[in-house]
Amino acid sequence: MAAVQRLLRAAASGGAQTAAAAARRRMASLAQEQAPPAAGFAFAAEERMRRRPAAERNVQWVFLGCPGVGKGTYASRLSRLLGVPHIATGDLVRDELASTGPLAVQLAEIVNQGKLVSDEIIINLLSKRLKKGEDQGESGFILDGFPRTVKQAEILDEVTDIDMVVNLKLREDVLVEKCLGRRICSQCGKNFNLACIDVKGENGLPPIYMAPLLPPNNCMSKLITRADDTEEVVRNRLRIYNDMSQPVEDFYRNQGKLLEFDLPGGIPESWPKLLHVLNLEDQEEMKLAAA
């Protein structure tokens, strides 16, 4: 953690490109030890040969956090700011399912049977996506919600170098209220949130305010609730996530790569503070975030 903090404080604050370049240079000073090859993943050796020094590429970050915390929102904003792709493994699976390749048939069977997609399939999809991006001139990435287990983290270390892991955190009572307020327009498919969260600070915890994300009038009568957005299901998801995530957090904490960020509120409150912690202050982006 100390290494990450030194890296972040040393990054330049005059614009996103300068900050990203500084981050790349400083990332090169982090631990360079490579883990032994992951048995059963032959493609990992090829990926190791393709690795580029941190000083020659953009950032390679991971975003972790409980379901509903907003990983995708903040990861996508940072990807635009830094000019790197935002990669969510769920999207990779959905894209593969929509394709006509042989893996699509195998994935469809797994999903239809309610089984978990294996680590090897996920890593292969990710490896293929990273290779495609590199061939197209992409440099760096932000992974969203992956890895979820220590085994996945160990395999990921064989596939690519991770510079930093940002762990977004939010109080459980706020997370539950936020998830219960989620709505989807059955016509346009956009996501909204009816919850107006205004939690007072108590027991040493700071107050948190999150304004609702209300739909336009033409969507209001078409809102539906996700079937799994019930308090019982949400709390169970959070319990399962917390049990699984702690070892992953410890894995990256021991590598000195974990940065924990407590969300102070909604996007207008949290985005500028996240940029500050990452030393990526950008006045134009901050104005857009607060708009």
Residue 238: alpha-carbon gap to chain centroid: 16
Q: Among this protein's residues, is 26 annotated catalytic? A: no
Cβ-proximal residues to 135 (8 Å cutoff; 6+ apart), any chain: none
Of 148, 169, 253, 273, the active-site residue reads 148
Of 6, 9, 226, 239, the active-site residue reads 226
Q: Which of 267, 221, 227 is nearest to 70 (CA)?
A: 267
Q: Among this protein's residues, is 131 annotated catalytic? A: no
Render the burial of 87-122: b for 16+ CB within 10 Å, e for the rest. bbbeebbeebeeeeeeeeeebeebeeeeeebebebb
Of 24, 26, 129, 237, the active-site residue reads 237
Secondary structure of 207-264 in the HEC alphabet? CEEECCECCCHHHHCCEECCCCCCHHHHHHHHHHHHHHHHHHHHHHHHCCCEEEEECC
Alpha carbons 87 and 75: distance in angstroms, whole number = 9
Q: Among this protein's residues, is 71 annotated catalytic? A: yes
Q: Among this protein's residues, is 226 annotated catalytic? A: yes
Q: Among this protein's residues, is 115 annotated catalytic? A: no
Of 24, 26, 182, 257, the active-site residue reads 182
Q: Token pair of 284, please?
A: 């134009």
Alpha carbons 143 and 162: distance in angstroms, whole number = 10
Q: Is 201 exposed, middle or buried (0-12, 13-18, 19+ CB in 10 A)?
A: exposed
Of 24, 71, 129, 257, the active-site residue reads 71
Q: Which of 184, 165, 181 is nearest to 173 (CA)?
A: 181
Query: Which residues does the annotation mark as catalytic?
Result: 71, 148, 182, 226, 237
